[in-house]
């Protein structure tokens, strides 16, 4: 298990667990990304990354990604 912030672009991961501010978690879950979801890391950039599933994509900060385990 590793932090999402260390995941490699182009790979698919399953989210094991997430924690953080409720407001941030609600935004992520509204994008149909939650525990058990398969996500792809589309791109990493300075300070964050773009993740998504078949339906949605979202940019999240490294701080938020460090609180998600895949």
Inter-residue contact 69 to 13 (CB < 8 Å): no
pLDDT band, residue 3 (cuts 50/70/90): very high
Q: What domain range is 14 assigned to?
A: 4-69
Distance CA 25, CA 68 (A): 10
DSSP E strand boundaries for the chain? 12-14, 17-18, 38-45, 48-52, 57-61, 68-69
How much is the pTM?
A: 0.86
pLDDT band, residue 68 (cuts 50/70/90): very high
- Partners of 69 in beta bridges: 3, 17
Q: What CATH number should be reported for the domain holding residue 16?
A: 2.30.30.90
Q: How many domains does the chain have?
A: 1
């Amino acid at each position: 298990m590793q932090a999402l912030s260390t995941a490699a672009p182009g790979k698919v991961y399953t989210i094991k667990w997430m924690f953080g501010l409720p407001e941030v978690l609600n935004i992520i879950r509204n994008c149909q990304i939650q525990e058990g979801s398969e996500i792809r890391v589309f791109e990493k950039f300075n300070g964050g990354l773009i993740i998504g599933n078949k339906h949605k994509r979202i940019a999240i900060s490294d701080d938020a990604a460090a609180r998600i385990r895949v």
